[in-house]
């Protein structure tokens, strides 16, 4: 059983806390900020300024990171130092479940991991049942054409190959740029207006109410005339919930569905 683990991705850090493995966690990235207790963990830099000397001094049993990191210089540097690296690449709900169970096996907490996975599956099933009921009642939320905004200047969205799209899909919505070839393309204001989204979901800092009000004014002017603006269906979601494939995925689509009903 390992007793020193480093996490080099926020979603991994969150998952380890959900599994009660935080006592093994001896280092995290500068971006790992949830749960709040992570502030007490040793910070090891980010993707471009990883503190290799400190990692070497810690000498962890495992370093957990994302599959995307395999192509980065960071991965080769850590591999050359002789550390055992374990990568994952969760992009869907099922991928998150697999990650949880894999960590359960790795750290000998399979009972807890299976319980967490089963809880997530049950709640997702409840959402799916609600979506199917709405469909039968001709109130199917999947008919709601949705614009995902990663940023508004430049205007950037996400296609169907992203984790964000998975949240939208589970929430019963339809991403109007799901079929695009680029994961995070820049798009024109005119193209969005022509597609006439019913809902706009924007990633941002939801704790900053003043900034959100300014953003609503900006989006209302940019996409005036669309159903989303007419019906005041602009939903701001914590960017960390939208971007991090961790067990908190439930919070993301639970929040979206709550806002849709308002």
- Token readout for 211 is 């900034």
The strand pair at 25-27 and 145-149 is best described as unpaired
Beta strands in 58-198 (DSSP E): 62-66, 85-88, 145-149, 151-152, 155-156, 174-175
Tell me if residue 44 falls in helix, strand or coil: coil
Q: Which domains, from first to last, does the chain contain?
A: 5-89 (3.40.50.1980), 140-260 (3.40.50.1980)
The pair of structure tokens assigned to 147 is 């614009």
- The per-residue pLDDT for 218 is 94
Residue ranges for the chain with pLDDT beneath 70: 69-71, 133-143
Rounded Cα distance between 172 and 128, Å, is 8
At residue 220, the pLDDT reads 95
pLDDT number for residue 1 = 75
Task: State residue 204 phi and psi, 5-degree precision.
Answer: -175, -175
Convert the pLDDT of each residue in 183-224 to its tens digit. Answer: 999 999 999 999 999 999 998 888 888 888 899 999 999 999
pTM: 0.88
């Amino acid at each position: 059983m390992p007793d020193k683990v480093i996490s080099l991705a926020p979603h991994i850090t969150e998952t380890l806390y959900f599994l009660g493995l935080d006592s093994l966690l001896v280092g995290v990235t500068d971006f790992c900020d949830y749960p709040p207790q992570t502030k007490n963990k040793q910070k090891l830099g980010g993707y471009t300024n990883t503190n290799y000397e400190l990692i070497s001094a810690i000498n962890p049993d495992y370093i957990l990171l994302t599959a995307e990191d395999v192509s980065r210089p960071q991965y080769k540097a850590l591999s050359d130092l002789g550390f055992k690296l374990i990568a994952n690449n969760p992009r869907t709900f099922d991928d998150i479940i697999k990650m949880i169970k894999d960590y359960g096996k790795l750290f000998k907490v399979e009972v807890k991991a299976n319980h967490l996975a089963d809880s997530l599956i049950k709640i997702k099933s409840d959402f799916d049942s609600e979506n199917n009921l709405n469909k039968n009642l001709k109130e199917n939320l999947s008919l709601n054409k949705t614009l995902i905004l990663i940023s508004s200047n430049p205007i950037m969205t996400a296609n169907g190959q992203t984790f964000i799209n998975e949240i939208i899909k589970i929430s019963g919505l339809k991403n109007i740029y799901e079929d695009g070839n680029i994961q995070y393309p820049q798009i024109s204001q005119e193209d969005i207006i022509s597609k006439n989204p019913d809902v706009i979901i924007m990633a941002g800092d939801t704790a900053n109410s003043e900034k959100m009000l300014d953003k609503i004014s900006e989006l209302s002017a940019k996409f005036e005339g669309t159903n989303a603006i007419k019906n005041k269906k602009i939903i701001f979601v914590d960017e960390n919930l939208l971007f991090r494939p961790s067990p908190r995925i439930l919070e993301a689509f639970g929040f979206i569905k709550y806002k849709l009903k308002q």
